[in-house]
Amino acid sequence: MIDIHTLRQHAIAAAKHAYSPYSQAKVGSAILTTNGHIYSGCNVENSSFGATICAERSAIMQMISQSGHAHIDKVYIYTKAGWPPCGLCRQVISEFATIDTEIIIGNEEGQEKHLPFSQLFPLAYTAAEYQNK
């Protein structure tokens, strides 16, 4: 069983690879899938800010491209200050999470905030919306 400390270490390691010449913000994310694998990602900024990829989405793309597995058990987001994921990342996470997926937001001081995905992103727009039209 993979513990939160291991997930945190993967997120911190990913943050060290962040390409953030504009904001100087280094963000790392690590995803634990329901089948026990970890995928990590970092933010990659671009001078055309809309082309920037956040760490959470980077980790999700790794998950899909490397395994095709699409079920998230936990997401760890690490920033120096402990920022939560942006709205776009919350929407992308919702594609692969359940309401009970654990979201952990950590900072450099070791403080962590644990919450279910349903609390982070209530009333998420999901694939079920298409089925109910």
What is the set of active-site residues? Answer: 56
Query: Count H helices, E strands: the chain?
Result: 5, 5
Is 42 flagged in the annotation as binding? Answer: no
Is 89 flagged in the annotation as binding? Answer: yes
Is 86 flagged in the annotation as binding? Answer: yes
Alpha helices in the chain (DSSP H): 4-15, 55-67, 87-94, 117-120, 127-131
Q: How far apart are CA 46 and CA 10, in angstroms?
A: 24
Feature table: binding site: 54, 86, 89
Q: Which residues are annotated as a binding site for Zn(2+)?
A: 54, 86, 89
